[in-house]
Amino acid sequence: MSPPRPETTYPLPDAVVVEPTGRMAPMTTTDSRRRAGATELIVGLVAGYAVDTVLGDPRRWHPVAGYGRFAAQLERRLYAPTRTAGTRYAAVAVGVPVAGAVAVHLATRRHPVARAAVVAAATWAVLGGTSLGREADAMADELDAADLEAARQRVPSLCGRDPSALDAGEIGRATVESIAENTSDATVAPLLWAAVAGLPGLIGYRAVNTLDAMVGHRNDRYRHFGTASARLDDAANFVPARVTALLTIPAAAIVTDGRAPAEPRRRGPRSRAFATFATWLRDRNHHPSPNAGQCEAAMAGALGVRLGGRNAYHGRVEVRPTLGRGPLPGPSEIRRAARISRVAGALAVATSVAVAVGGSVATNRLRRRRVR
């Protein structure tokens, strides 16, 4: 008996595909919609990042400021010095904007231009890398001019430390530490969350990070009430902080030390990248924060400076381990840190695009396997 002849196959319409089992599964409409959704997200993220790069934060009617007012009103209603009250507060304060973002996401499902525009507007509102860089450059100008009082007045716009007793070196350290940590908080983390979870991820991350800035403090009022918000922020930043540290390595190689071409360079690109990686690997877990130390250790290595030490806040003092080796940062290191932050932000956009594309491809493959 001769072996059976193979089945004859015929071309099929684009709307269906033959699976190995012989079943015909609808493919094109859903898959193309998923691919279109990824395209809208990518276009929105890139456009929003571009607008932030050119314009910085909105000067009036900033959505994040509006959210802060909502969160403050909610705190007045729900506050109690317990972790239960703080957990309830965090759930409502994060859940409301995320629910709104989900509703907008669903409403624009069949309107790609509108969805891309919404993502672009939200990205612009959520990102803060350009304003961070401008503030850092302004601080460097004040220190260059030896205007210590003006520099102290700028400190609250970068961190929560008491500036009254800070000298130029400590102001430089506070500025560089703020740049390092906020490279993650203001740029890398929101882009990654948007790439993974779309508009709800973008809005949800900013809500979580804002709550931590408002109530995630270790003072008498928020010691228990702010615990849930602080832990939620730690979880949301766990991966982005480490990605930020890794992006700082190539950024440090790209950004020069700022010396004139006629002057000798202190370190070449390879040595700058190696110093960044080595310092991050050695010092990243010395910081009391599970995330801030990742970014600050990498930046310390990139600049060849020393971070960490005694931090005086309003009403309390913290002494933190040293990160990196070298002098305290000065104006030139502040400017270079701002440039490294900008390059890391651009690399984060490329990383987020890759994550969004990879997620779309993986989702389509999983769906096809389930149909089989």
Structure token pair of residue 152: 């102290």
Please give the Cα distance from 358 to 352 (Å, whole number). 10
Which class for 250: exposed (0-12), middle (13-18), buried (19 or more C-beta within 10 A)? Answer: middle
Q: pLDDT tens digits for the chain (372 residues)?
A: 444 444 444 444 444 444 444 444 454 555 555 566 789 999 999 999 999 999 999 878 899 999 999 999 999 999 999 999 999 999 999 999 999 999 999 999 999 999 999 999 999 999 999 999 999 999 999 999 999 999 999 999 898 888 888 999 999 999 999 999 999 999 999 999 999 999 999 999 999 999 999 999 888 899 999 999 999 999 999 999 999 999 999 999 999 765 444 434 456 777 889 999 999 999 999 999 999 999 999 999 999 999 999 888 867 788 889 999 999 999 999 999 999 999 999 999 999 999 999 987 887 777 777 766
Neighbours of 24 (CB within 10 A): 14
Both ends of the chain: CA-CA distance in Å?
A: 32
| Cβ-contact 338, 179 below 8 angstroms | yes
Between strands 316-319 and 310-313, the pairing is antiparallel
pLDDT score, position 90: 97
In sequence order, the 6+-apart residues with CB closer than 8 A to the CB of 16 are: 24, 25, 26, 27, 28
- Using CA atoms, how far apart are residues 245 and 260, in angstroms rounded to an integer? 27
Domain ranges of the chain: 30-371
Q: In sequence order, what are the residues at sequence separation of 6 or more whose Cβ sits closer than 8 angstroms to the Cβ of residue 87?
A: 228
User: How many residues appear in the chain?
Assistant: 372
CA–CA distance, 68 with 132 (Å, rounded to integer): 19
Q: Model-level pTM?
A: 0.86
What the block records as the tokens of 21 is: 């089992």
pLDDT score at 267: 61
Residue 226 C-alpha from the chain's centroid? 21
- 282 by Cβ neighbours in 10 Å (0-12 / 13-18 / 19+) ranks as middle
